[in-house]
Chain A
Amino acid sequence: MLTAALRKELLLQWRSRAQFMAVFVFGAAALLLFSFAVGPVAELLRQFSAGFLWLGLLLSSTLTLAESFHAEMENRSMEGLLLLPANPRALYYGKAVANWLQLTLLGIALIPVMVVLYDAGTTHVLMLILVIALGTAGLSAPGTLYAAMTAQVRSKQTLLPLLLFPLIVPALLASVKATSLIILGDPMNQVRSWIVLLASFDAIYWSLCGLLFGYVVED
């Protein structure tokens, strides 16, 4: 059941890969704009590069997440899906995983942008990708739940970030700190603790949101 849902989601996303390109351009543009806020001071840009990356990812995620229920809303296929003898949980996890994959890809795609704009390179690329994966997982779990809610509501574009942003503060803090340590150096090996915090946040919210999703889509 879950694999079927996941396969459907990935197929949908592959079909709308133009939309992914658009979100990537949005994210890259955001990173560019952040550098204008600071000014062409190489030192400062490098110091804040982690923060900029994650803010860019966060803003882009609202676009991705809002889009993810677009197909269901367009054709009213949500009701159809729920009529099937399928667990709403499978629907949720399928969407959440698909969103997570897309956000991780986005994060990885933004790494070279970050390296170029902020001179924020690092040799620990795998570690960076791990942090991006864990951080975007933290965005995707509650984000998918709230996207399902707000897709059916007016003023959806404002409500999704309004609900999501306060909630993911711990994931944002941990991701930024971990990324920052990877880029700027980690003499006291604190990265591990931040990664543990991130993983705990993910574990809690992936289970809690899955549990509660049934209530969100029931009639």
Chain B
Amino acid sequence: MSGMIPGGWSFVVAAYSVTAIVLAIYGASVIARLRNEIARRNDD
């Protein structure tokens, strides 16, 4: 391995974006499911 890897920024951006997007989507899905359960609990 020698020298700098050119054009690395696009990969860096991709990695950080994927991380942010996956965590955000999963978080949103958990919160949505929790809302559902609470709504169902309130209906009973």
The answer to whether any beta carbons of A and B sit under 8 Å apart in the complex is: no
Residues of B near any A CB (own CB < 8 A): none
Residues of A near any B CB (own CB < 8 A): none
